[in-house]
Amino acid sequence: MTLALHHSPTKTEVEALERRRKFRARIEELASRIAVAPIVEVIKPKIAPVSSLRDWIFVASGGDATVPNATKSIQLAVCREFKINRNGLLSIRRTADLILPRHISMWLCKHFTHRSLPEIGRLHGGRDHTTVLYAVRKIDDLLAQNDQLAARIQNLRAQLEAYFNE
Tell me, what's the pLDDT at 24? 84
Whether the Cβ atoms of residue 90 and residue 109 lie closer than 8 Å to each other? no
pLDDT at 41: 46
What's 155's domain CATH number? 1.10.1750.10
pLDDT for res 78: 94
Q: Does residue 40 belong to any structural domain of this protein?
A: no
Domains in the chain, number: 1
Gap between the Cα atoms of 129 and 87, Å rounded: 20
| More confidently predicted of 90 and 55 | 90
CA distance 82 to 108: 14
Task: List phi, psi (to 5°) of 78.
Answer: -65, -40
Range of the domain at 117: 53-165
Confidence at residue 51, expressed as pLDDT on a 0 to 100 scale: 58
Among 27-36, 95-104, 121-130, the minimum mean pLDDT is found in: 27-36
124 — phi, psi (to 5°)?
-115, 45
Q: Are 125 and 90 in contact (CB under 8 A)?
A: yes
Inside any domain, residue 103: yes
Q: Is residue 153 in a domain?
A: yes
DSSP letters, the chain, are: -------PPPHHHHHHHHHHHHHHHHHHHHHHHSPPPPP----PPPPPP--SHHHHHHHHTTS--SPPPHHHHHHHHHHHHHT--HHHHHSS---HHHHHHHHHHHHHHHHH----HHHHHHHTTS--HHHHHHHHHHHHHHHHH-HHHHHHHHHHHHHHHHHHH-
The pTM for the full model equals 0.62
Q: What is the pLDDT of residue 112?
A: 84
Residue 36 resides in a domain: no
State the pLDDT at residue 9: 72
Give residue 127's pLDDT.
94
Q: Is the pLDDT of residue 15 over 80?
A: yes
Angstrom distance (rounded) from CA 96 to CA 89? 11
**pLDDT per position as a tens digit, 20-64:** 889 888 877 777 766 554 444 444 444 445 556 666 565 665 554
Contact (Cβ atoms closer than 8 angstroms) between residue 110 and residue 136: yes
Question: Does some domain include residue 79?
Answer: yes
Task: With cut-offs at 50, 70 and 90, classify the pLDDT of residue 80.
Answer: very high
In a domain, 47, yes or no: no
Q: What is the structure's pLDDT at 12?
A: 85
